[in-house]
Structure 1
Amino acid sequence: MARRTKRLWADEEKRTIRFQTTAPGVSVAQVARCYAMSANMVFKWLRDPWYASDPEADEDLAADTPCFLPVDC
């Protein structure tokens, strides 16, 4: 049986994932599923001020980040 390895996320990836949860109509669970991770981990990053992004970087990130659309599985 193969061992499961712990995934390490860079701070910039965490900020990007955090930012994606702020889109209207998108839930934290949807974003977590896109990255195959637990929603609890995303909530932990949302509470942690270390991964908070500054407003100026959010504007740049908004232009580069694709929009999420609702998908029915």
Structure 2
Amino acid sequence: MTASTRRVWSVEEKRAIVAETEAPGTTVSMVARRHNVHSSLLFRWRRDAFVTDRAAGSPSQPAFIPLALPCPADPPRPALTVGTIEIELAGGHRLRTEGAIDAAVLRSLIKALVGR
């Protein structure tokens, strides 16, 4: 039976070594040489730490985001028509308008004159 030459690193040791790679001005290769590990192993530890941290930080369900919508705008008004309108009513009443007129205003005006 031969003894294994493979080293075993604890989670805390791996995290400490990975944390060294995040220091400004350091490279993964420099940290790997300092701890006598292969840089590909250190990259794997970094990836595993990222995946673990990401899984621990993300909620299982989407977060609730409050949403405030603006009040709905007034409905668009009907287009104004341009021209001359002349209406003769019984009793000699006459209504004449020129230019742009709102159809709703004209309707209410006629209703008022007829209802008289």
* TM-score where L is the length of structure 1: 0.62
- Greater relative CO, 1 or 2 (CA 8 Å, sep 6+): 1
Per the alignment, residue 37 of structure 1 pairs with 37
What's the CA shift for 1:11? 0.2
Instruction: Tell me the SS of whatever aligns to 2:26.
Output: coil
State how many pairs are aligned: 51
Higher-Rg member (1/2): 2
What letter corresponds to residue 10 of structure 2 in structure 1? A
Distance in 2, matches of 1:13 and 1:36, equals: 13
Q: Partners of 1:10 and 1:3 in 2: how far apart?
A: 19
Q: Distance in 2 between matches of 1:19 and 1:36?
A: 16
Q: CA deviation at 1:33?
A: 0.3
Shift of 1:10: 0.3
State the Cα RMSD in Å: 2.1
Deviations 1:12-58 (Å, cap 9, x if unpaired)?
000000100000110000000001110000000111134x5xxxxxx
Q: Which residue of 2 aligns with 1:18?
A: 18
TM-score (norm 2): 0.40
Structure with the bigger percentage of strand: 2
**How many Å separate the matches in 1 of 2:4 and 2:30?**
23
Q: Percent identity?
A: 40
> Separation in 1 of the partners of 2:3 and 2:33?
22
| Structure 2 unaligned blocks of 5 or more | 54-116
Contiguous gaps of at least 5 residues in structure 1: 53-73
